[in-house]
Amino acid sequence: MSKKILIHSLIFSPDGVSTAYLYNDIALKFQENGYKVVVLTTTPHYNVVESQLAMQPLRWKVWGICKESNFHGIRVIHVPQKKFKNTFLRILGFAYWHILSFLIGLFQKNIEIILSPSPPLTIGVINIWLAKIKGCKTIYNVQEIYPDILKRKDGMAIECLRRMERYVYNHSTAVTTIDQVFYNVIADRFKDKSKLHIIPNFVDVDLYNPQVGAVESLDPIYFPVTDSLKLLYAGNIGFAQDWEPLICLAERTKNFPIEYFIIGEGVMKLYLEEKIGKKGLCKVHILPYQPRSLMPSIIAYSDIQFIFMNPEMEMQGFPSKVYTIMACGKPLMVCSGKDTPIVNFLQEHNCAKLITEKNLNEKVNMMVEWLSNVSEEELNSLGQNGVDVVKRLYTKDVVTQKYISLVRNL
Burial class (CB in 10 A: 0-12, 13-18, 19+), 167: middle
pLDDT of amino acid 83:
78
pLDDT at 151: 64
> Is pLDDT above 70 for 1?
no
Q: What is the pLDDT of residues 4-23, one digit of tens each?
A: 999 999 999 998 888 888 99
Q: How confident is the model over 342-348, as a mean pLDDT?
A: 92
Residue 209 maps to a domain = no
Residues 196 and 225 in one domain: no
pLDDT at 181: 85
Task: Indicate whether 178 and 254 sit together in one domain.
Answer: no
DSSP one-letter code for 173? S
pLDDT at 242: 94
Is position 79 within any domain?
Answer: yes
> Where on the phi/psi map is residue 298: left (φ > 0), alpha (ψ -120 to 50), or beta?
alpha
Q: Which domain holds residue 131?
A: 4-202+396-409
Question: Which one-letter DSSP state was computed for residue 294?
Answer: G
Mean pLDDT for the chain overall: 92
pLDDT digits (tens, 9 = 90+) for 23-60: 999 999 999 999 999 999 999 887 777 888 889 999 99
Does the pLDDT value for residue 276 go beyond 90? yes
Q: Is residue 212's pLDDT more than 80?
A: no
- The verdict on residue 97 lying in a domain is yes
pLDDT digits (tens, 9 = 90+) for 235-262: 989 888 999 999 999 999 999 999 999 9
Residue 88 pLDDT: 84
Q: What is the pTM of this model?
A: 0.83
Instruction: Indicate the number of domains in the chain.
Output: 2
Same domain, 370 and 400: no
Q: Give the Cα separation of 184 and 315 in Å (integer).
A: 11
pLDDT at residue 329, as a whole number: 96
Same domain, 280 and 144: no
Same domain, 129 and 27: yes
Which of 3-7, 150-154, 341-345, 370-374 has the lowest average pLDDT? 150-154
- pLDDT at position 67: 95
pLDDT at 149 over 80: no
User: Any idea what the CATH number is for the domain that residue 135 is in?
Assistant: 3.40.50.2000
Residue 214 CB neighbour total at 10 angstroms: 12
For residue 359, tell me if it sits in a domain: yes
